[in-house]
Structure 1
Amino acid sequence: METTTQDLSNFTRPVGFYIRGFYAMKNTEYYFIFLAVIYVLTVVANILLMLIIWYSETLHTPKYMAVFSLAVVDVSLSSALIPKAIHMYLFDSKFVYFDACLAQLFFVDYFASMEAFALCVLAYDRLIAIYFPLRSNTLNTNCKMMLVIIVSWSIPFIIDVVMVALIPPLAYCKSTIVNSFFCDHGPVFKIACGDYSPNWFMASFTTVALYFVPFGFIAVTYLFIIYAILRIASSEGRWKAFKTCSSHLILVAIFFVPFFVTYIVAWANVNIDTDTRIINTSLSASIPPLLNPIIYSLKTEEILEQIKKHLNLKKNCTQQLISHHCSLQLQTPL
């Protein structure tokens, strides 16, 4: 591998990296075609959800601002990960230039952590709505929700910038082959020579700050939510309050359970072959963005009502156009 040396910094920077991908799995092109289908469905589903929220004035509320933010994150995460991976393996273009690798590393990690923070924002919205039902309209306005979303986007950005900034000073004197299907943070810094303990520390800090802390925040909010629900006198009221949280709880489980399983397995030093790890990582990063808009569309009455409303409007417009066309034909002399 050709390298360029910077004398002032006394380290060796590679021109780029080779993304090794699967070791022994055969017919991998079919798997990446499967990922391509998931990507198309993810983009279509999330864009439709965003359009419904954007054009429905009744959905211009703090809750659906948070849902809209989650949809943006879903599209961004899928776009940062899947198209490049598909291009690499279907067209056998596995070499990635150093700066391009860092860019992909940053955006994939950033939007993955943003997924966790977007779920936090939704938990915050549910907490205000259920724990402070009489004051929710004043405690959680659109302006305040926008501020919360901006903060939730800023914190992961700062942390991930620092994490990526620790990669360029590393020396790569032995290998430039990344044992993953994209420029993954861990596999990238682990093939460096010399001391990469700062990268280890930053990876651990990032995991705790951007995943464990958000999950802890969500857990605490639901303790308060459960307490508030139990104080509701009628069983019908308790069920209605819980139902408003069901969509969010499903999204939290879909996102965090695979992540924690992967982390626990890595922490326990259980040896998993690269092919299995790649499949687990790719599915855990691509399936939640696909399921999020589907679950919210099917489990949220306001979204269902808007979908039905738009479908009925389209149906009525079509019938009116047909009726108008037929009347014109009847009026036209033979």
Structure 2
Amino acid sequence: MSYLTSDPNQTENTDPIIRPPYFFISGFIDIPHMEYYYIFLCFVYIISLVGNTFVMMVIYMDNSLHSPKYIAVFNLAFTDVCGSTAMVPKLLDTFLFSRQLISYNQCLTSLFFIFLFLNMQSFNLTILSYDRLVAICCPLRYHMMVTHRSMFQLTGAAWALAVFLVLLAVGLITRLSFCRSLVINSYFCDHGPLFRLAAPCSDVVPNIVISYLNPCLMLYFPMVFIISSYICITHALLTRGIAHGLKTCTSHLILVAIFYLPINITYLLHPIIPTNARIFNLSLTLVLPPMLNPFVYVLKTEEFKESAKKLLRKRRAQRAVVPIQST
């Protein structure tokens, strides 16, 4: 599929930027019965939506959870809901209903929100690792270092940096001319496959630079910080002879592994892995962590479980009172 002007030389003189009316999202290539996989993603999305909404509701309604740590947990659940919503409904509409054409503006909008919430998942895991680092390595100073103000500042800075870098990536896309193929070899408007379409017609060097800069700032630097923090945590616990304290960090480590391992495999092995394998791996990376986060991290926390049980008992009591009053 291609997009060609009737007079390329005239177009170059009047408007050097060729913006096509639409792109074609190819998705998986030559794999039979993929509709079952998309239905699976639909169930994953529903579970993610219910689980993370429940987490946000409990944190909001229980004053005992209005602590700095749960600001980060709430932000993680919010990001998971938004990230899944930005991707899965559009994916289902695209492939289950064969609507693989997407307009230029819709493509850039989808790219912005998917990468924004993907990057915020990484930052949220980093903020939670900072909370564990201070709690274990500096327990006497925890309430001085991890305050509501500091947690809001960390979260706000993460959002600002994520928005800026993703806007920069999208802005660099708008300067490109797409004069040949319009087929995006992914299941959404992926940044790399999108700007490579303009390589024959435009200078994509700035886009290549930002494609390396964004993963470094959004994935690799946070991952290095998380690994370093757990080295410090392990050293502190072993020094005190309380190695069993690492069990309190197990849930967070599981989330880190679930998020970072697949996405790093995708980026590091991108040149040698088949297109379908890359798309499949990236799709699972974007939908599975949001579904698992409430169950692996939050629902295993005793403090949260007690708050949830208390709210459920209160809700049942209120329902029991209503029929009595009506009679």
Name the TM-score, length of structure 1 as normaliser: 0.90
User: Which residue number corresponds to residue 167 of structure 1?
Assistant: 173
Cα deviation for residue 283 of structure 1 reads 0.8
Retained in 2: the 8 A contact 1:36–1:82? yes
2:152 equivalent in structure 1: 146
1:85 is matched with 91
In structure 1, distance between residues paired with 2:278 and 2:307: 40
C-alpha contact 2:3 2:180 (8 A) present in aligned 1 = no
Distance 1:58 1:134 in 2: 21
1:297 CA drift (Å): 3.3
Contact 1:24 1:275 in 2 (8 A): no
- Partner of 1:157 in structure 2? 163
Write the distance in 1 (CA, Å) between the matches of 2:320 and 2:104: 57
Check 1:319–1:99 CA distance in 2 against 1; reply closer, same or farther (3 A cut). closer
* Equivalence for 1:332: none
Q: Does 1:217 align with 2:253?
A: no
3-state SS, counterpart of residue 11 of structure 1: coil
Instruction: Name the CA shift for 1:292/1:271 in 2 (closer, same or farther; >3 Å).
Output: closer
Tell me what 2:56 maps to. 50
Give 1:254's match in structure 2, choosing from 258, 277, 289: 258
Q: CA deviation at 1:180?
A: 0.7
Deviation track 1:199-255 (CA, whole Å, cap 9, x = no partner) reads: 11110111111100110111111122122212324x4xx42x323322211110110
Question: For structure 1, which segment, 257-266 or 204-213, has the greater mean C-alpha deviation from structure 2 after superposition?
Answer: 257-266
Aligned-partner Cα distance in 2 for 1:293–1:228: 28
- Decide which of 24, 33, 37 is 1:27's aligned counterpart: 33
SS in structure 2 at match of 1:183: coil
Give CA-to-partner distance per residue, 1:75-115, whole Å, 9 cap, x none: 11111111111101111111111111011111111111111
Letter in 2 for 1:285: L
SS in 2 for 1:299: coil
1:126 aligns with 2:132: yes
Q: Give the Cα separation in 2 of the matches to 1:140 and 1:297.
A: 19
Quote the offset at 1:156 in angstroms.
1.4
Is 1:184 the counterpart of 2:195? The answer is no
Residues 321/99 of structure 1: CA separation in 2 closer, same or farther (3 Å cut):
closer
Letter in 1 for 2:269: V
- Verify: 1:16 aligned to 2:22, yes or no: yes
Matched residue, 1:270 = 272
Q: Which residue of 2 aligns with 1:313?
A: 314
When residues 13 and 225 of structure 1 are mapped into structure 2, their CA distance, relative to the original with a 3 A threshold, is same
3-state SS of 2:140 partner: coil
Deviations 1:281-331 (A, max 9, x none): 111110000000111233211111112222333344455567x489x5xxx
What letter corresponds to residue 249 of structure 1 in structure 2? L
For 1:227 and 1:2, the matched residues in 2 are separated by 59
CA distance 1:302–1:8, change in 2 (3 Å): farther
- Paired AA for residue 188 in structure 1: L
The aligned residue for residue 284 of structure 2 is 283
Q: Is the 8 A contact 2:3 2:182 kept in 1?
A: no
Q: Hey, what's the Cα distance between the residues in 2 that align with 1:54 and 1:319?
A: 23
1:19-55 CA-partner distances (Å, limit 9, x unpaired): 1112111122222111111111111110000001111
Aligned partners of 1:3 and 1:12 also within 8 Å = no
Q: Please tell me whether Structure 1 or Structure 2 has the larger radius of gyration of its CA atoms.
A: 1
The answer on whether the counterparts of 1:70 and 1:115 sit within 8 Å (CA) in structure 2 is yes
Structure-2 separation of matches of 1:23 and 1:320 = 58
Task: Give 5+ residue unaligned stretches, structure 1.
Answer: 329-334
- For 1:295, the equivalent position in structure 2 comes to 296
Q: Write the distance in 1 (CA, Å) between the matches of 2:15 and 2:226.
A: 43
**Segment drifting more, 179-188 vs 161-170:** 161-170
1:126 to partner: Cα distance: 1.0
Structure 1 CA distance, aligned partners of 2:273 and 2:94? 26
Question: Would the aligned equivalents of 2:4 and 2:180 in 1 still touch at CA under 8 Å?
Answer: no
**What is the identity percentage for the equivalent residue pairs of Structure 1 and Structure 2?**
38
- 1:13 maps to amino acid: R
Shift in Å at residue 143 of structure 1? 1.3
Distance in 1 of aligned mates of 2:145 and 2:70: 16
How far apart, in 1, do the equivalents of 2:303 and 2:4 lie?
57
Root mean square deviation of aligned Cα: 1.9
Q: Which residue of 84, 95, 99 maps to 2:105?
A: 99
Q: Does 1:242 align with 2:227?
A: no
Query: Unpaired segments of 5 or more residues in structure 2?
Result: 6-10
Give the Å deviation of 1:198: 1.6
| Counterpart position of 2:210 | 202
